[in-house]
Amino acid sequence: IADLIEKMYGSHYSPAQVSNISKQMLPKVEAYHKRKLSDKFFCVYLDATYLPLRRETFEREAVYIAIGIKPNGHKEVIDYCIAPSENIEVWTEMLQNMKSRGLKHFVTFCF
């Protein structure tokens, strides 16, 4: 993360500073995942890709993403999640969560 910030903004941050920034962002990320959703989407695209993520090891994990398209053509990332692999249980949980937050009637495209 420190290397990315330095390339993007020309500022260097120590690992401790990056850790502090990450900790401050956690409540905002949690709020994003709990926010009320508009029911005004024409369709929702669902997809997942595998990215190398650094946890205990450098394993590749599935990053799930739901992108909604509103009737005016505006695209919005509705939600995302990370899981060790792609499976129907994670998709089901993600869709149920989005429904409970207000997402209704839409055409779904899965890739």
d(CA 102, CA 95): 11
**The overall pTM is greater than 0.95:** no
- Please report which confidence band the pLDDT of residue 8 belongs to, taking 50, 70 and 90 as the band edges: confident
- Residue 19, pLDDT score: 86
Q: What are the Cα distances from residue 15, in Å, to 11, 54, 60, 64, 101?
A: 13, 14, 22, 27, 35
Beta bridge partners of 65: 47, 80
For 67, how many CA atoms within 13 A lie in the half-sphere containing its CB?
10
Question: At a CB cut-off of 8 Å and minimum separation 6, what does 90 contact?
Answer: 62, 64, 81, 83
Q: Return the SS3 of 98.
A: helix
Mind listing the pLDDT tens digit for each residue in 42-90?
888 999 999 887 777 668 899 999 999 988 999 999 999 999 889 999 9
